């Protein structure tokens, strides 16, 4: 194994996924996982799938020197700790929102004040399908938000092909699983309340709009519903092109954007039970399914992207970006293909 890695915030959900992926990665050795609440407990105490790992959580105050530090801490933590992180590691991959936006003003509009605005220009957004060329050699990487990732993957080909311009009204309706709320949760996350919901948890004003706007140059009408699954994010985007488009145009746009992408699969109305992108079909993987349909009655394009919010939408994207940053084979450690059948993973 060529690189050492640590995970700060290892007892949370995305921290656990980082540990799982990195411990099976051919090029990384995990040398530290921190957790304030579970210091000295085994990582299996938090994550039953990692009981075989001989690793205990350590205090986040004592960071070991590593090649790559992955920070899976709540929003607002990394910006305060970033100097310690960068002292401990050459490459820092942050999974929070702290370094995703490139302007202080944008950050202040959607979050609170930023403690280290000068780093916003330096940090590199992790999503390789959007940003591959910027990743090699990057030393501060910001993994994207899960809902933003799904939306960007669904809309990007239409923007790139000029089908969608900023004059168009785009409605995005994202359905997400309960892991998005993170470990802990409160009353609303308790199983009796959360089971079976179709809960409009962010009818308007979801912060991931900021990333979508920044990277696609679009103001989207964005709504997020919580539905009954644990992992998964599925974005349905309703687009009204200025000029009529054909199915062939759409195939061209999406194939052009994703044909060479190892983690994106086009699923657009073929046979079988799964005719469009489906989050449960990508659960546990770093894959995205992307697809589309054309509404002949009014020219609307409906496009879909389904991901695992904790992987392609967070920890998997982080490792993918780290692979690219370090020059490792980009799919390394991320080859799990998912299960069938699978219930509500």
Name residues contacting a second copy, limited to 153-172 (CB under 8 A): 169, 171
Contact stretch for a second copy (CB under 8 A) within 57-65, 92-100, 179-187, 253-261? 179-187
Q: CB of 83: closest distance to a second copy in angstroms?
A: 31
Query: Residue from 111, 199, 249, 252 that binds a second copy (CB under 8 A)?
Result: 199
197 touches a second copy by CB under 8 A: yes
Cα distance between residue 12 and residue 16, in whole Å? 6
For residue 248, the tally of other CB atoms under 10 A from its CB is: 8
Cα distance between residue 186 and residue 41, in whole Å? 24
Q: Segment 17-56, which members bind a second copy (CB under 8 A)?
A: 17, 20, 24, 41, 44-52
Residues 295-324: x where in contact with a second copy by CB under 8 A, - otherwise, as a string: xxxx-x-x-x-x------------------
99 touches a second copy by CB under 8 A: no
If you search the block for the tokens 């954007």, which residue do you land on?
A: 257
Query: Residue from 221, 242, 260, 329 that binds a second copy (CB under 8 A)?
Result: 221
Query: For residue 242, how far is the Cα from the chain centroid?
Result: 30
Q: CB of 283: closest distance to a second copy in angstroms?
A: 7
Cα distance between residue 139 and residue 145, in whole Å? 19
Q: CB of 2: closest distance to a second copy in angstroms?
A: 20
Query: Could you say which of 46, 93, 146, 226 is catalytic?
Result: 146
Residues 257-286: x where in contact with a second copy by CB under 8 A, - otherwise, as a string: --------x-x--xxxxxxxxxxxx-xxx-
Size of the site for a second copy (CB under 8 A): 96
Between 80 and 190, CB nearer to a second copy:
190
Tokens of 7: 């995970």
Query: Residue from 105, 193, 327, 329 that binds a second copy (CB under 8 A)?
Result: 193
Tokens of 318: 């982080």
Contact stretch for a second copy (CB under 8 A) within 75-83, 111-119, 122-130, 333-341? 333-341
339 touches a second copy by CB under 8 A: yes
Backbone angles phi, psi at 303, to 5 degrees: -120, 150
Query: For residue 181, how far is the Cα from the chain centroid?
Result: 14
Query: Residue from 29, 104, 160, 228 that binds a second copy (CB under 8 A)?
Result: 228
Contact stretch for a second copy (CB under 8 A) within 55-63, 66-74, 152-160, 332-340? 332-340
Cα distance between residue 308 and residue 146, in whole Å? 8
If you search the block for the tokens 């304030």, which residue do you land on?
A: 36
203 touches a second copy by CB under 8 A: yes
Cα distance between residue 9 and residue 33, in whole Å? 7
Between 2 and 49, CB nearer to a second copy:
49
230 touches a second copy by CB under 8 A: yes
Is position 237 annotated as part of the catalytic site? no
Question: Would you say 278 and 289 are in contact if contact means Cβ atoms under 8 Å apart?
Answer: yes
Backbone angles phi, psi at 289, to 5 degrees: -100, 135
Query: Residue from 194, 208, 312, 320 that binds a second copy (CB under 8 A)?
Result: 194
Cα distance between residue 61 and residue 66, in whole Å? 15
Cα distance between residue 322 and residue 327, in whole Å? 8
Contacts of 279 (CB under 8 A, 6+ apart): 175, 177, 229, 231, 232, 233, 234, 306, 307, 308
Ramachandran bin of 184, using left for φ above 0, alpha for ψ from -120 to 50, beta for the remaining angles: left
The residues annotated as belonging to the active site are 146
């Amino acid at each position: 194994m060529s690189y050492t890695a640590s995970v700060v915030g290892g007892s949370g959900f995305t921290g656990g996924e980082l540990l799982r992926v990195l411990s099976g990665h051919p090029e990384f050795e995990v040398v530290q996982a921190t957790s304030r609440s579970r210091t000295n407990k085994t990582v299996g105490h938090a994550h039953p799938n990692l009981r075989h790992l001989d690793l205990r959580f350590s205090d986040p105050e004592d960071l070991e020197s590593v090649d790559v530090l992955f920070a899976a801490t709540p929003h607002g933590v990394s910006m305060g700790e970033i100097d310690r992180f960068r002292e401990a590691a050459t490459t820092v991959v942050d999974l929070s929102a702290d370094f995703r936006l490139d302007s202080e003003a944008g950050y202040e509009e959607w979050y609170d004040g930023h403690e280290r605005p000068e780093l916003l220009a330096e940090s590199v957004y992790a999503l390789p399908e959007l940003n591959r060329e910027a990743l090699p050699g990057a030393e501060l990487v910001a993994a994207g938000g899960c809902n933003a990732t799904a939306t960007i993957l669904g809309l990007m080909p239409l923007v790139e092909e000029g089908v969608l311009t900023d004059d168009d009204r785009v409605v995005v309706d994202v359905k997400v699983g309960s892991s998005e709320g993170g470990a802990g949760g409160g009353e609303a996350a308790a199983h009796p309340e959360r089971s079976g919901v179709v809960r409009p948890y962010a009818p308007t004003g979801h912060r991931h709009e900021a990333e979508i706007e920044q990277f696609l140059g679009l103001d989207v009408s964005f709504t997020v519903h919580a539905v009954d699954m644990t992992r998964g994010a599925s974005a349905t985007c309703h687009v009204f092109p200025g000029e009529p488009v054909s199915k062939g145009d759409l195939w061209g746009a999406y194939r052009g954007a994703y044909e060479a992408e190892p983690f994106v699969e086009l699923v657009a109305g073929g046979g079988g039970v799964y005719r469009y992108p489906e989050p449960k079909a990508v659960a546990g993987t770093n894959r995205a399914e992307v697809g589309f349909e054309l509404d002949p009655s009014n020219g609307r394009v409906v496009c879909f992207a389904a991901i695992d919010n904790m992987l392609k939408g967070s920890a998997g994207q982080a490792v993918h970006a780290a692979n690219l940053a370090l020059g490792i084979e980009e799919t390394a450690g991320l080859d799990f293909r998912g299960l069938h059948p699978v219930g509500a993973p």
